[in-house]
Amino acid sequence: MSGWVTVCSRLYRRAARAFPYEYLSTWISKAKELTMTNDIFEGTWTAKGEDAQWDVPGNSKPQQACVRFEATDTGYLMVAYGIVDGKAVAERPQAISTDGRRRPIVDLNGRPIPGVPPGAVAFGSRSDSQPLDLAYVTLEVGAEVDGRVLSAATYKVSADGKTLTATNEGVGLKGPYKNVWVFERVVPDPYLPQG
């Protein structure tokens, strides 16, 4: 009988040491998730269509537009989607590196993108050292080939984190284009679990 008690007592001591650790680590992880400071760009944004300026030859102005930024280790993953001429449309997801280095323009699997000239590179930067009195934080993205700018975009988030202004201009397949959109943050974010 004493051998059985010894075995049970050892198991109980091991469990008593392991369970509180697992229990506490679970709650600590949840607390970290709740108190994490979110990236100011991260989230889903929906356009205020009446504030949009659209000058894109051959393309209709979207009736609805949304953009989503997800923070990554190297910058962001951006996905744009909406409704054009009554049909749902989505752009190819775009990886944005914010370290200022120029990288070949490829899809998320590292393959060349049809229609993008050989040798085209993308680059991006984020203004992390903004003084507190400025009214926005800026993300700048661009693409060029052989020193010629293909596109340049600027995304500015207001100090309160509720408004994103996107300016995009460049030269597309149908000629030069420029558009300016004002977006509002979607709260709660439809892509995050609720509850």
Tens digit of pLDDT for each residue in 52-70? Answer: 788 887 788 888 999 999 9
Q: What is the CATH number of domain 43-185?
A: 2.40.128
CA gap 179, 54 in Å, rounded: 5
- What confidence score (pLDDT) does residue 36 get? 41
Do residues 121 and 139 make contact, with C-beta atoms less than 8 angstroms apart? no
pLDDT digits (tens, 9 = 90+) for 75-108: 999 999 999 899 999 999 999 999 999 999 999 8
Helix, strand, coil % (nearest 5) of the chain? 20, 45, 35
CA distance linking residue 125 with residue 40, whole number of Å: 14
Provide the token pair at 153: 């975009």
The domains of the chain are located at 1-36, 43-185
* Cβ atoms of 68 and 79 closer than 8 Å: yes
Those residues whose C-beta lies under 8 Å from the C-beta of residue 73, and which sit 6 or more positions away, are: none
- Segments of the chain scoring below 70 in pLDDT: 1-5, 7-9, 11-37, 128-135, 195
